Amino acid sequence: MRPDRTQSKVFFYTTSPLSCPYLDGEVERRIVTELTGADADDLHNALSKGGFRRSHYMAYAPVCPNCSACVPVRVDAQNFHFSKSWRRVEKQFSYLEATLCEPVATQEQFLLFEKYQKKRHGDGDMASMDYFDYRSMIEETPIKTSLVEFREEGTLVSALLMDHLDDGLSAVYSFFDDAKKYRGMGNYMVLWAIRQAVVQNLPYVYLGYLIKDCRKMSYKGRYSPLEGCVDGQWVLLNTD
């Protein structure tokens, strides 16, 4: 990918091979670059349109040697089909109060994040994150980022870390209370982001990587119309 022309120099690096966290028996490698300086937003916008994702001050994309299962996807927000089932999800959580906050970590957020990780992803690396790791994930951003808090009568029940792009919103990470009454909360936060994109007249909501053979990553195929970045081009995906 050609970086944004306002960047004088952009250096890309390839990570060492590691065991894939999503597919057994596969090897993961990434191409990464640092997002720094006054042009960080411009570079991030350009790279996002090429299928990159952000983590802290870095943008990355998979370049795995023998696998192409990770497909960057984005929802066509302006043409999104709010089916009866999606409207039921919205109605289910319509009582929650959503607030866009600055990306500043709090102990309240971390306690919810920690509980979510141990309950839903206890075998993953993020389950061992301490408060300082969490704070780094939330606050280390060189671009415009928000943390959306969803509260029930003042109590935090879910949160969405969200980047602001020139052509959409990017859902970086979300977590929520795993109590039975909040099942479907992950879907609700995506729907909320889509509604926000529509209101702001933004074309897309970026959801990261779709991996059809990974249960934790295949859910992204539920949102339609959905585009995927394949061989450097965004194409409409058939997710049926």
Last residue of a domain, one of 44, 70, 96: 70
Structural domain harbouring 162: 73-106+138-236
Whether residues 85 and 154 fall in one domain? yes
Helix axis angle, 84-92 relative to 185-199, nearest 10°? 100
List the pLDDT tens digit at each of the 240 positions of the chain. 444 444 458 899 999 999 998 999 999 999 999 999 889 999 999 999 999 999 999 999 999 988 999 999 999 999 999 999 999 999 999 999 999 999 999 999 999 999 999 887 656 677 789 999 999 999 999 999 999 999 999 999 999 999 999 999 999 999 999 898 999 999 999 999 999 999 999 999 999 999 999 988 999 999 999 999 998 899 999 866
Helix axis angle, 107-120 relative to 131-139, nearest 10°? 110
Q: Among 194, 179, 110, which residue's Cα sits nearest to residue 149? A: 110
Q: What is the DSSP string of 55-97?
A: ETTEEEEE--TT----EEEEEEGGG----HHHHHHHHHTTTPE
In the chain, the number of structural domains is: 2
Whether residues 29 and 97 fall in one domain? no
pTM of the model: 0.92
Whether residues 43 and 97 fall in one domain? no
Whether residues 54 and 33 fall in one domain? yes
Last residue of a domain, one of 21, 54, 70: 70
Q: Are 66 and 33 within 8 A, CB to CB? A: no
130: in domain: no
Q: What is the DSSP string of 165-182?
A: ETTEEEEEEEEE--SGGG
Please, where are the H alpha helices in 140-218? 185-199, 215-218
Residue 13 CA, distance from chain mean position: 22
d(CA 149, CA 119): 20
